[in-house]
Amino acid sequence: MTMRPPATVGMKLAEVDTPALILDLDAFEANLQRMARSVAGTPVRLRPHAKSHKCAEIAKRQMALGAVGVCCQKVSEAEAMVEAGIPNVLVSNQVAGRQKLDRLAALAKQAEWIGVCADDAGNVDAIDEAAGRAGVILPVLVEIDVGAGRCGVQPGEPAVALAKHIAAKPNLSFAGVQAYQGRAQHLRTLEERRAAIDTAIALTRKTVTALEAAGLDCPIIGGAGTGTHALEAASGIYNELQVGSYVFMDADYGRNLKADGKPVDEFRHSLFIYATIMSHPAPERAYVDAGLKAFSVDSGLPLVFDIEATLERASDEHGNLALAKPANRSLVGEKLRLIPGHCDPTVNLYDWIVCVRGGIVEDVWQVTARGALL
């Protein structure tokens, strides 16, 4: 059921079939290098999140620039990464259910290192049993709620209690603390993001201190996203950054502001949806062949990149363009790029990433873990 690729190597961009995911390789490589440089020479490691790109080719390039491994959110996503040659994966999420836990334990035999997070004692018991059935020792991190109000046990003593529960299990090892503040990533001003991460840092430090007092070392103290990574990196407590979106950026991250009130510009938009105008029934209105099955709308509609127009609405297979300059000649057949509203769920809609440099298709990469739900 893998769909045919929309492009072949050597093709001109204008020849790429649509809708297609286009990766600007120059921008992409600059983003990878910039993030790698940001931690070079420090004790902080990069463990980029593969949930954003789901692409083993990208994970390999992150590892080549120094990443210690990747994060995944799903066991099947981790399986896809390991099968494609990524040796070290943290499932930075809870995993519930015997089938998934048995597969996770099986994967630990195949990979160099597989870790998982937990926030529930019963779930820890189930992970231990699965590891026992497979004959492996599974590293487990305690997820703590550092202010996002989502998953995770409370920082401090509740985290210590769960860590002790893990450490006492025959088939588990306590591997540290998962301390991701997801809601902080898209707070618009630097002051808001700093305030949220200051809280996260304090709660994480309190927890790590309590764990150490209980004799429990934390090999991994992980968290951070593209919106706040510099804050966690400078914290003196986080030692792994789980950044994902920086490789692509998207319209939602593009709305974050720097200290000076201007939009963030540390990373460049490298990912685009390439679309064709298929209908142009009135001078001021046109319709592209990309809709709700070609981009996610949870964080707003995509931005139009190549022409002066606004994507005003989307239905399943239509994107409604309002043209800033009404055009009296038919634009049917013309192609343009859109900046995704939210990169992660958009990438998951595609089987292929078309890599372009200088207007020429240089490579076509599989979205290895596309649809990895389990």
25-54 positions binding a second copy, by CB under 8 A = 51
Closer CB to a second copy, 190 or 286, in the complex: 286
364 near a second copy (CB under 8 A) = no
151 near a second copy (CB under 8 A) = yes
Query: Who's near 310: CB < 8 A, 6+ residues apart?
Result: 304, 321, 322, 324
Where in 60-99 is the site for a second copy (CB under 8 A)?
73-74, 76, 93-97, 99
Where in 219-278 is the site for a second copy (CB under 8 A)?
276-278
- Binder of a second copy out of 61, 133, 188, 318 (CB under 8 A): 318
Cβ distance 74 to 107 under 8 Å?
A: no
**Nearest approach, Cβ of residue 182 and a second copy (Å):** 7
Cβ distance 28 to 270 under 8 Å?
A: yes
Cβ–Cβ contacts within 10 Å for residue 66, how many? 14
3-class DSSP state of 142: strand
- Binder of a second copy out of 12, 34, 109, 150 (CB under 8 A): 150
Cβ distance 33 to 345 under 8 Å?
A: no
Written as one letter, the residue type at 150 is: R
10 near a second copy (CB under 8 A) = no
Cβ–Cβ contacts within 10 Å for residue 4, how many? 7
**Nearest approach, Cβ of residue 59 and a second copy (Å):** 15
In which residue are the tokens 């985290």 written?
159
Count of alpha carbons within 13 angstroms of residue 178, beta-carbon side:
27
- Binder of a second copy out of 114, 127, 153, 309 (CB under 8 A): 153
**Nearest approach, Cβ of residue 352 and a second copy (Å):** 9
128 near a second copy (CB under 8 A) = no
Contacts with a second copy: how many residues (CB under 8 A)? 72
298 near a second copy (CB under 8 A) = yes
156 near a second copy (CB under 8 A) = no
- Binder of a second copy out of 40, 121, 214, 324 (CB under 8 A): 121
**What gap in Å lies between CA 320 and CA 282, rounded to an integer?**
12
In which residue are the tokens 């930075």 written?
92
**Dihedral angle, C-alpha 161, 164, 165, 169, nearest 10 °:** 180
Contacting range for a second copy; rule: CB under 8 A; set: 27-35, 151-159, 173-181, 219-227: 151-159
